[in-house]
């Protein structure tokens, strides 16, 4: 089913958009309720998936675990900073446009018919640190038992991920219905196509180039890597949640890696902090808003200061649709001079474009996992 998932998701999205006028309101609300319930269930099990994957990675890497995880965090910062820095030059070009933006319409008020809310028992970051620390300690103190437990975790996680995979099409359908009801798709196509088009080209051009270089310019490997990540990317577009799309991202990353366990463990550790889509979208939108309000564009030195705080703030992004812009509002105000009206506009624009931004985040996370997979052997040897 994994290989057919891009076609299944694309068909579902097209069917929902084409058949929307024929679908009764109660069915649309029910679909949205099912999607929210599935998302709540996924969020419930995510900490356990994260813990199990990182525990297994720490056990398998043993003495190299601490070094490699530290190296991953350095790579996250460098990757986020590079994409944010490149966005400066795209934003400077956007600033030359003759812009006259209109604030998007208010939400339609579309609500789910029902929604089952499951409690979140433990935060993802706690699960991440617990998995790493306990994995390292267990591998040092009880290596045989730790290996058996990690194998059991691997079996359990594979079963859970396979179960989630079968729910993804239904999960996606409800969110597409919601987006269409709010008029988000229509507004994107009607009012912001040019700006959004530039952002999308910058995001995906950068990411595709990364996949090409990581494939050592081997076209066949490059195409296969892209194909393996398409289900996760489409899920990210539809659900606007990197965390909810994480099971598919893990599957794609593992298929692209020489060391699947390491690649699969990189995703939960970086899903909410390595955000290439945000690093292109927010700065470019900021330049567009600055121009539309007649504000001067920032100098390179001012932008570098903004980029530093921007990258640091990425470690506190909320794992919800639109969460990427919320923590950035104080930084935009302090370092780029955004007023209340400007922050309201960029927030609305970000949320409208959030499907594509999240798609790029998920797609970029797959490339990042592939990069770590390439670099890990060098780190191990140097250790």
Residue pLDDT, tens place only, 198-242 = 999 999 999 999 999 998 888 999 999 999 999 988 888 887 778
Q: Is the pLDDT reported for residue 1 higher than 80?
A: no
Residues 261 and 135 sit within 8 Å (Cβ to Cβ): no
> What percent of the chain has a predicted confidence (pLDDT) above 90?
18
According to the model, what pLDDT value does residue 206 have? 95
pLDDT in tens, 173-183: 887 787 777 76
Question: Between 327 and 74, where is the model more confident?
Answer: 74
The CA distance from 28 to 176, in Å, is 10
Answer whether residue 63 shows pLDDT above 80: no
Q: In this structure, what CATH number is given to the domain that contains residue 97?
A: 1.10.3860.10
State residue 7 phi and psi, 5-degree precision: -70, -40
Q: pLDDT band at 102, cuts 50/70/90?
A: very low
* 53-59 mean pLDDT: 77
Taking phi first (over 0 means left), then psi (-120 to 50 degrees means alpha), and beta for anything else, what does residue 183 get? left
Domain total of the chain: 1
The pLDDT of residue 104 is 45
pLDDT of amino acid 103? 45
The residue segments making up the domain with residue 207 are: 2-382
Band the pLDDT of 125: cuts 50, 70, 90: low
Give the predicted TM-score (pTM) of the model.
0.69
- The runs of H, that is alpha helices, within 112-192 are 124-141, 143-181, 184-191
CB contact at 8 A, 146 and 138 = yes
Lowest mean pLDDT among 78-92, 105-119, 271-285: 105-119
Q: Is the confidence at residue 44, as pLDDT, over 70?
A: yes
Q: What pLDDT does residue 201 have?
A: 94
């Amino acid at each position: 089913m994994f290989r057919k998932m891009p076609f299944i998701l694309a068909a579902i999205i097209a069917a929902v958009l084409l058949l929307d006028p024929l679908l009764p309101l109660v069915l649309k609300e029910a679909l949205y309720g099912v999607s929210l319930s599935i998302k709540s269930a996924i969020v419930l099990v995510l900490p356990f998936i994260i813990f199990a994957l990182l525990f297994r990675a720490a056990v398998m890497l043993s003495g190299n675990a601490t070094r490699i995880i530290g190296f991953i965090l350095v790579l996250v910062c460098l990757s986020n900073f590079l994409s944010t820095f490149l966005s400066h030059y795209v934003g400077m070009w956007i600033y030359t446009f003759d812009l006259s933006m209109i604030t998007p319409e208010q939400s339609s008020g579309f609500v789910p018919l029902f929604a089952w809310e499951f409690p979140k028992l433990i935060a993802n970051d706690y699960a991440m640190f617990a998995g790493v620390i306990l994995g390292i300690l267990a591998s040092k103190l009880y290596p045989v038992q730790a290996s058996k437990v990690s194998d059991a975790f691997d079996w359990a996680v594979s079963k859970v991920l396979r179960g989630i995979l079968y729910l993804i099409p239904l999960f996606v359908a409800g969110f597409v219905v919601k987006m269409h009801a709010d008029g988000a798709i229509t507004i994107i196509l009607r009012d912001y196509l040019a700006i959004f088009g530039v952002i999308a080209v910058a995001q995906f051009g950068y990411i595709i180039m990364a996949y090409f270089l990581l494939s050592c310019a081997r076209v066949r490997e490059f195409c296969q890597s892209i194909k393996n990540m398409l289900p996760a990317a489409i899920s990210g577009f539809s659900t606007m949640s990197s965390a909810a799309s994480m099971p598919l991202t893990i599957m794609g990353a593992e298929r692209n890696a020489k060391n699947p366990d390491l690649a699969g463990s990189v995703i939960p550790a970086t899903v909410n902090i390595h955000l290439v889509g945000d690093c292109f979208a927010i700065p470019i939108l900021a330049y567009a808003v600055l121009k539309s309000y007649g504000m001067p564009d920032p100098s390179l030195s001012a932008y570098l200061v903004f980029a530093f705080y921007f990258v640091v703030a990425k470690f506190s992004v909320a794992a919800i649709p639109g969460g990427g812009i919320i923590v950035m509002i104080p930084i935009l105000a302090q370092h780029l001079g955004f007023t209340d009206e400007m922050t309201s506009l960029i927030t609305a624009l970000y949320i409208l474009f959030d499907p594509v931004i999240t798609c790029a985040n998920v797609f970029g996370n797959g490339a990042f996992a592939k990069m770590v997979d390439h670099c890990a052997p060098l780190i191990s040897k140097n250790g």
